[in-house]
A and B are shown apart, each in its own frame.
Chain A
């Protein structure tokens, strides 16, 4: 596709449920990032993939959060036993490489609301 695609654009779930958020990066981009943006805050780094492997998952807040990228393209962010505090916009970005001199392109995000 022309840009980074995230689905769904909105997700409402009940507390305690499991959710999956999908990111389809720009074709050919080997680097993929997940960020979380809470209301009134800047994006907060969660995890970075280079190819299929998670090169840095230090931003994942706890073990309820997990992300995969099995074929080095599409990535799924998985949240177990959701809590109201997980409500936020989850942003995905991709870039040609993992170096700072390559621009990261962001998707429009998935707005997750836990009720």
Chain B
């Protein structure tokens, strides 16, 4: 069965520092991969997605992610974090294209 692991429950970074959130998946074929962000009181918002092609994917709000098949990873990165990036981040994998399997999430805290 497919699964998604986000090893870091909480991450704290200083404003302006770089960010990398880890995501590992377990799936037999090339999956559809997603990163979502959830702010307090807000719905889930799609940051970026990977289906095929270029393994480096650009998303909204300055985020990017790289698909590494050999490591079964799809880590999310941002070169310079802003205070407004504080939120919960979820990695998700889909196979049939509709039923997404989410990780448990990583809570990002941004300090001044």
| Interface positions of A (Cβ within 8 A of B) | 3-4, 31, 33, 35, 40-45, 48, 55-56, 58-59, 91, 93, 95, 98-101, 103-109
Contact = CB atoms under 8 A, between A and B. Distances in A.
Interface of B: 4, 32, 36, 41-46, 49, 51, 90, 92, 94, 96-105
A101 B99 contact: no
B104 A33 contact: no
Contacts of A45: 99-101
Contact of B43 (A33, A42, A103, A106): A106
A107 B43 contact: yes
Given A104-B46, A104-B100, A42 B90 contact: yes
Nearest to B97: A100
A4 B43 CA distance: 9
